[in-house]
Amino acid sequence: METIVSYFEHIPSAHRAAILVGGIAFFWILESAAPMFRWKYRKVPHAGINIFFTATTVVVNFAMAFMLLSATDWAVANKVGILQWLPDMPLWAFTIIGLLLLDLIGAYFVHWAEHRVKWMWRFHLVHHTDTNIDTTTANRHHPGESVFRFVFTAAGAVIAGAPMWLVFMYQSMSVVLSQFNHANIQFPGWLDRTLSWVIVTPAMHRVHHHYTLPYTDTNFGNIFSVWDRLFGTFARVDQEKLVFGIDTHMNPEEHSSLGNLLGIPFQAYRAPVGAKFEGVESGTQQTESA
C-alpha cells in the first residue's frame, strides 16, 4: 500500500496523460470488438468532437491546478477535514474512506446539482446531447462545466481533508471508471449486476443517458454505486429500451456541431419534455436488465 501511495505522491504528468489516453484507446478497442449496440454512425468524427472537449477539460484542470494543490496543502497543514479528524486509521481504511468522500462531493453531488440548478444544467446539457454513447463521451464536458466540476473537487478535498496523493489517485480512478461506464461494451448480465453493487457499470450509467425524464435524473454516480443506492437515485433498465441523447436537442445539427455545442449554455432554456416507457423502475426499486 505504501508503494501505491508513494507512486501517486510523485506521479509524473506524463503518467497522468498516459492514463487518460490509454484508457480511451483500451475501451475504444474493446467496444469495437464487443459492442453492446451496433450503431451506424461516423465513429471518428463523433470522437473528434468529444476529444475536443476532453482537451478543454485538460486545459481547465491544468490552469486551475494551483487551487487544488493549495486546498489540499492547507487542509493537511491545518488538520481540517474528516480524514484529519480520524487519527491512527489504517492506511487502507484512510484510502477507501477518502476515495468515497471525494467521489461523493467531487462527482455525485456536483452531478446531482447540475440536474437541479438550471444554469448548471445549461452547461451539463452538452454532455447529454450525445446520441451515440461510447467511451469518448466520458469527457464530453463544456469548458464551463469543467470549471465548476473542478471547484467541487477542490471543495471535496478540503471537506475530506485529503492529501494530494489521494486526490491524484481519485482523479486517475475517476478518469478510467468514467471511460469504462460510458463504453459501448457488452457485459454478461450477471457480471454487470454483481459489479454494480460496488462500482458504476456501463448498463447502470446508460440509464442516465436515456433521452428523457425521469431516467435522465437517475444513476448520477461515477466511481461508486453506493451513493445512488443510498440516496434513492438508482435505476435499472432493459438496455434495449434505451434511446440516447436529450429530448430537447435531438436535431443532428444541434448535437453534432461544435459551434452550437459551445453556445448551448447561452441559448434560450428549453424545458424537458419528459416521458415514460415500460420496463423501468427507479429509486430504490430495480428491474432486471441484460
Q: What is the pLDDT of residues 45-98, one digit of tens each?
A: 889 999 999 999 999 999 999 999 999 999 999 999 999 998 789 999 999 999
Residue 131 lies in a domain: yes
Please, which pLDDT band fits residue 237 given cuts at 50, 70 and 90?
A: confident
What pLDDT digit, counting tens, does each position of 96-117 carry?
999 999 999 999 999 999 999 9
- Domain, as residue range, for 99: 2-281
Residue 162, pLDDT > 90, answer: yes
Q: Look at residue 21 in the predicted model and tell me its pLDDT.
A: 92
Q: What is the pLDDT of residue 161?
A: 95
Joined grid coordinates for residue 230 = 443510498
Q: Is residue 287 part of a domain?
A: no
pLDDT of 26 reads 95
Residue 175 to residue 168: CA distance in whole angstroms:
11
* pLDDT higher than 50, residue 283: no
Query: 98, 102, 73: which is closest to 85 by C-alpha?
Result: 98
- More confident position, 187 or 120: 120
Rounded Cα gap, residues 163 and 181, in angstroms: 27
Work out how many domains the chain is built from and give that number: 1
The pLDDT value recorded for residue 289 is 32
- Mean pLDDT value across residues 156-164: 96
Q: Give the pLDDT band (50/70/90) at residue 275.
A: low
Q: Is residue 288 part of a domain?
A: no
Report the C-alpha gap between 192 and 229 in whole angstroms: 15
Residue 9: pLDDT band (50, 70, 90) is confident
Residue 126: pLDDT over 90: yes
CA distance 212 to 199: 24
Per-residue pLDDT at 133 exceeds 80: yes
> Is the pLDDT confidence value at 282 over 60?
no
Residue 55 has a CB neighbour count (10 Å cut-off) of 12
Q: Which residue intervals of the chain are DSSP H helices?
A: 2-9, 13-33, 43-63, 65-77, 91-103, 110-114, 118-128, 143-160, 164-182, 189-195, 202-208, 226-230, 252-255, 258-263
pTM above 0.95, yes or no: no
Q: How far apart are CA 146 and CA 56, in angstroms?
A: 8
Looking at residue 279, what is its pLDDT?
43
> Do the domain assignments include residue 195?
yes
